[in-house]
């Protein structure tokens, strides 16, 4: 299994995620996050923030947006070790976010508030995996 952290999804992946086969029910997004050592803003602004600190600014804003759309942040925590499997480099943080449906997720990323906060995500995030999960299966 090859693991590739990315900061932005491809157009193909976006089309698949929001496509006609996308479930129209609640889901939990598993976010595996890797931060830059130092935040790097695309507009060149000076910053003493770490990547994690810049991402925290994004996270605080997005948590409010998600709540307004009927979702919620379930968990966020530092990755402290690996018990099973092998990866070249561990992620820094795991965040679990519940969304009422794919349309709410689409509305979140299209909102002006999200777009304004996104600058901090880009500044702090080296890469991540987003994994959509559905309840059931056990």
Q: Indicate whether 79 belongs to any domain.
A: yes
Q: Indicate whether 127 belongs to any domain.
A: yes
Q: Indicate whether 2 belongs to any domain.
A: no
Whole-number pLDDT of residue 63: 96
CB atoms within 10 A of CB 102: 18
What is the C-alpha separation between 4 and 1, in angstroms, rounded?
10
Q: Indicate whether 113 belongs to any domain.
A: yes
Q: Indicate whether 6 belongs to any domain.
A: no
Measured over the CA atoms of residue 20, residue 9, residue 42 and residue 90, the dihedral's sign is positive
Whole-number pLDDT of residue 19: 83
DSSP 133: E
pTM: 0.89
Looking up residue 99, the CATH number of its domain turns out to be: 3.30.70.100
Q: Indicate whether 16 belongs to any domain.
A: yes
What is the C-alpha separation between 125 and 18, in angstroms, rounded?
23
Q: How many domains does the chain have?
A: 1
Q: Are 116 and 94 in contact (CB under 8 A)?
A: no
Q: Point out the residues of the chain with pLDDT beneath 70.
A: 1, 137-138
Structural domain of 112: 11-133
Rg of the Cα atoms in the chain: 15
Q: Indicate whether 50 belongs to any domain.
A: yes
């Amino acid at each position: 299994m090859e693991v590739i952290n990315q900061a932005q999804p491809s157009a193909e992946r976006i089309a698949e995620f929001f496509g006609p086969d996308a479930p129209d029910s609640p889901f939990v997004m598993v976010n595996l996050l890797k931060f830059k050592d130092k935040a790097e803003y695309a507009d060149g602004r000076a910053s003493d923030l770490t990547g994690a600190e810049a991402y925290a600014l994004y996270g605080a804003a997005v948590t409010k947006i998600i709540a307004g759309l009927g979702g919620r942040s379930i968990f966020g925590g530092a990755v402290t070790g690996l018990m099973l499997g092998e990866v070249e480099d561990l992620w820094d943080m795991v965040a679990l976010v519940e969304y009422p449906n794919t349309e709410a997720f689409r509305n979140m990323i299209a909102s002006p508030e999200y777009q304004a906060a996104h600058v901090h995500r880009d500044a702090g995030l080296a890469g991540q995996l987003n994994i959509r999960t559905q309840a059931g299966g056990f």
